[in-house]
Amino acid sequence: MRRILMLALVILAAPTAAQQPAVEALTVVQRLFDAMRAKDSLAIAATFDTSGSLLVLVQRDGREFLSHMSGVEFARRIAGIPAGTEIEERIWDAETRVDGNLATVWTPYAFLINGVVSHCGVDAVMLMRFADGWKIVAIADTRRTQGCEVPAG
């Protein structure tokens, strides 16, 4: 009976153990957005690997182009937002996939400034697990200003 109970516990615990890396990776992404809301450049930079970058597909003058910046540059830009300006990147329905030390988080988002939607799109975040934990190695996102439906948050 004891062996059956132990086997049952192992079987029930297996999905939780398998899901743990996905939860850890998504937690890093949420920490990034919390640090952005606080405009904390050190906390933002801490979520990125030193070689991490942000790629943004921007539409301007009817054309699309790719904007690129390092995680450190992104942290400086967010920290430079004027005092009194509140920002929030709200995500929902995040899909996290993990294979060994590689994880991706794909999620719709809306970026709010002072509670008003500025733009929305999809964040595709790639993370790698290093000795000190999961770090963002790249974020690519789309941006649009039309059709932004945002769940209450």
Instruction: Report, as an integer, the average pLDDT of 88-106.
Output: 97
pLDDT of residue 135 exceeding 70: yes
Q: Rounded to an integer, what distance in angstroms lies between the CA atom of residue 1 and that of residue 17?
A: 24
Q: Rounded to an integer, what distance in angstroms lies between the CA atom of residue 105 and that of residue 126?
A: 7
Strand 48-60 to strand 133-142: parallel, antiparallel, or no bridges (unpaired)?
parallel
47-93 pLDDT, tens digit per residue, is 999 999 999 887 778 888 888 999 999 999 999 999 999 999 999 99
Pick the CATH number of 19-142 from 3.90.420.10, 3.40.120.10, 3.40.50.300, 3.10.450.50: 3.10.450.50
**How many residues are there in the chain?**
153
45 SS3 class:
helix
- Residue boundaries of the structural domains of the chain: 19-142
